[in-house]
A and B are shown apart, each in its own frame.
Chain A
Amino acid sequence: MTAPSHHRYVSTDRRVREDRRFVAGKGNFVADIDLPNTKHVAVVTCPHAAARIKAIDKRAALKMPGVHYVVDGAELAGATLPLLTGLDTPNVPRRPLALDVARYSGEWVAAIVADSRAQAEDAAEAIEIDYEPLPFVLDAEEALKPDAVLVHEAHGSNVLLDKTFVWGEVDKDFAVSPRKLALRVKWGRSSTVPIETFGVVTSWDPWREILDVYASIQMPRYADQIGLALKIPTTSVRVHYDVDVGGSYGVKRGIKNTVLCGYLARRLGFPVRLIEDRLENMRGGDAHGPERLFDVEVAFNDEGIVRSMKMRALENVGAYAGRSPFQLGKPIGAIVGPYKIASVKYQAIAVVTNKTTQDAVRGFGQGPTNLALERCMDEVANVLGLDPLEVRRRNMIRHEEFPYLIPSGTTYDSGNYETVVDKVLANTSYQDLKAERDRLRGQGKLAGIGMAACLEPSGGNATFEALLNPAITTSTFMDSCRINIDGLGAITATMHTTSSGQGHETLVGTVVGEVLQVDPDTIRVTRPDSLNSLPSGTPVGSRMAIMLGGAAFHAAQKLKDKLTVIAAYDLGIALERAVYERGEVFDRNSPDKRRTWADLINIAHRNYHRMPEGFEPGLAAEHIYQVPTGGTLPTKDGRVQMYPCFSFEFHLLLLSIDPDLGRPEIVRYRLGHDCGTQINPKIVRGMTMGGIAHGIGAALYEEFAYNDDGQLIAQTFMDYLLPSSHEVPAVDIVDHETPSPHTVLGQKGSGESGYLGAPAAVANAINDAIRPLGISINTLPIKVSKLGDLIADARAKKGN
């Protein structure tokens, strides 16, 4: 399966079909769905970091206008099963409403159903709850201590996961390396924070026994999880995938909201909806991202060649497990980044604390790992007095060395890192950038150059699940497409999940159009509901271009083959002589002998007498596509092939800091990006730019900060700062295309591009800028206040 050199539609500058409805305000977002007689849900949250729930008095609330019902944790737990988690931690159950003990400030304790959302909120204030505040722990290192407060007493410790892997001769490599360096790097608690909160509408039909679910969801096995928790068959759960999701980037996993509303709809007999408000979302939406402490050691030589690495990653997952501990696992598939590090020791620890529960965030842990690795590369350069770009070049895997097996067992598919770096430096030289930095320094600014060379694992072969939890034996990761060509020759293709801005309808249309050689704009793309769907792994792990694209490609190929067989039979020629071209099939030896699209449709749909004997009538095909390179489980020594494709990005930026204010400003930003074949360049560029903006946020502005009382102090957009157009610089993006040998068109993933390297590049630039003051900073986010204080202290010590 090599990439064709010429495409009709793929990689061309085409519009994104989804855009038309959105620019007119005609998206179908969950809050836009008005089912008749829908009632509204609001939640009551725990004000303490940890508290025993001694009594809940609902009486006053139930008397309030418009109020229909109040449900608490005990009632819900009696009727539903705990939510699925990835690890085997039965004594850390996760439920939609706290049962007996609430474990973080903002945790949902009860829910009210009323005629209007305003009435439900009014009633929430009238519910009286008798809490007994309990001791709590917020910091991951504190939570690890033997005498720590236990978040879940029955579990016996705060540790959910503690696994150490050694890949290669780490001790020997450290022993023979002349130089070592240790670094502590912290990734602050931030997340993707979509502008649309999570929302869900549920409706139960007792006569058909179907729970209809409309949700702004992005979650694998969503329907399964609803069915399991509510104890109803999945054939009674109908998730509507045609709901547009207003941004997700990983976190729209509102399973607890859905189970709560699913229960209420069944219990009460009318539709209910819970559209989180911003407070509910930020505190109790369980949508925080990684908060990770790295202790990294690298062993290297005087030339800056890094031979070995020891990395300990301590993750503060918050109060309940969810899938978040697995975010320590995915980076194993790219643990050495784009570098030839020969051996690695990796310890992954996940602890619970009394903070909001995490869920999956863009990159699934890869961004923090890339930060730790890239900070190390800069420090290696620094101690040797070498240029950081030169150190990276010396360590990079070379184009001719692919496919490249890394110590943890994954083989990188393809890459041309040195060329991407060269292309970034082709427009303006590195020397010019340094000259500009030095000119800014001459003007009294603190100025620094930052870079990051990072990988984006893509395709979603999530075997880290089996690596971290041996009870899991999943090696199947799939996506699907079904195509029907109707009796008039019109084409409809399907996809089987929701989207949150990735342009998947455009993806399917483009790929099917490419294979069948018909205008993609004429192809209808639909989203059947979950009861009519084929398997989909949903848009996670930068997988859809590869996986949905792969499924659409193969389904279209099956139809193309079918059309060719029908034509050859009707023309009375051997199949080898039949050539498919733009919907027609002709005889290679006699091109005038041909069957048109209309002929072929007519034969397939109406002239069975002209079909090969026993041939399936009609023109429909489906394909369920298994992830390329997938299908193996980890070996006993902890090695496994993870994601199939590896996109590469090289960030290079110049940043200046006002030394009095500590305010950083990005002066120049260049990015080299290689995600193989770009199916739609507009989409790839948009995702990459959005990823950079998000990465700048994680580096400089965004943090779910807590005070010592365990209260989240960034609950609104006035405290949790999302980058505006002022904070995001113009970025000069240089594309390069190294096709993946594993995918149908050479494509790789790009859904997490930009974000996976921007935080590291910004952190490196700030450190380059403040190094002359003899200081460094390795904790994100690097907020103005923190940076300003650090600079002021350093200057005071220096006496200026």
Chain B
Amino acid sequence: MRIELNVNGVTRTLNVEPRTTLLDCLRDALDLKGAHAGCEHGVCGACTVLFDGVAVRSCLMFAAQAAASAITTIEGVTPGPGELSLIQDAFCETHGLQCGYCTPAMIMVAHALLADNPEPTREEIVDAISGNICRCTGYAQIVEAIALAAERMRGVNRPRSLNK
């Protein structure tokens, strides 16, 4: 079937089987490999993308269901080739990852969280990432990355006089 998908601000017309998941569509039809398949039954969260700004599991929905919505993937939040967003840089600073397989999804969750809540508590961060399984890190450095990103994002718009 023919569908129109708006991904990372660009609308494309695609031919997909009705049963194609959004995840497979992103990876195979659009060559956006940053969303990963982990369990394909909605538990691990490695396939998380933003659906009109909300973090969702792309393995649990069909590509056809995503038509008429704005999909954002990790490729869409990366500022440019070789350039990192503030959140991505914070993950590097704290080493909030190891194998990197769950990482793009964690960063998408962080984007969704920080868009709503610029000053999350540790509990709120823990809660936000609790639907995403990381097997490498034990989460500590992920939580620190998101807290650091939040702090830096708040700092970006602070008047210089307050940055003492």
* Chain A interface residues (CB < 8 Å from chain B): 15-16, 18-27, 29, 31-32, 34, 118, 192-197, 244-249, 275, 277-278, 500-503, 682-683, 685-694, 716-718, 722, 724-726, 728, 730-731, 754
Contacts and interface: CB of A to CB of B under 8 A. Distances in A.
Contact of B100 (A246, A691, A725): A246
B100 A27 contact: yes
B92 A244 contact: no
Given A246-B99, A725-B126, A754 B138 contact: yes
B34 A26 contact: yes
Interface string B131-151: 111111111111100000000
Contacts of B19: 118
* Most chain A CB within a 10 A radius of its CB, from B27, B100, B129, B140: B100
7 contacts: A19-B91, A19-B95, A22-B104, A23-B92, A23-B107, A24-B78, A246-B100
B72 to A, nearest CB: 12
B53 interface: no
B86 to A, nearest CB: 11
Contacts of B126: 725-726
B35 to A, nearest CB: 7
B41 A717 contact: yes
B140 A730 contact: yes
Contacts of B99: 22, 194, 196, 244-248, 500-501
Nearest to A500: B99
A691 B138 contact: yes
A21 B101 contact: no
A29 B101 contact: yes
B39 interface: yes
Contacts of B34: 24-26
B95 A686 contact: yes
A717 B39 contact: yes
Contacts of B27: 31
A731 B97 CA distance: 17
A718 B100 contact: no
Contact of B135 (A195, A278, A731, A754): A195
B73 interface: yes
Contacts of A754: 138
Contact of B44 (A24, A32, A195, A244): A195
B75 interface: yes
Contact of A683 (B31, B38, B95): B95
B74 A192 contact: no
B60 to A, nearest CB: 13
Interface string B92-118: 111101111111100100000000000
A682 B94 contact: yes
B133 to A, nearest CB: 5
A686 B17 contact: no
Nearest to A282: B39
Contacts of A249: 135
Contacts of A503: 98
B92 A20 contact: yes
7 A-B pairs with the lowest CB-CB distances in the bound complex, closest first: A25-B34, A22-B100, A501-B99, A246-B101, A501-B98, A689-B138, A693-B138
Given A501-B99, A686-B98, A716-B43, A246 B36 contact: yes
Contacts of B37: 31, 275
Contact of A195 (B89, B107, B134, B140): B134
A278 B131 contact: no
B59 to A, nearest CB: 10
B52 to A, nearest CB: 20
A22 B97 contact: yes
A63 to B, nearest CB: 19
A238 B102 CA distance: 28
B84 A20 contact: yes
A503 B73 CA distance: 25
Nearest to A20: B92
Interface in B18-77: 19, 27, 31-41, 43-44, 46, 73-75
A550 B78 CA distance: 37
Given A23-B97, A25-B33, A730-B140, A16 B92 contact: yes
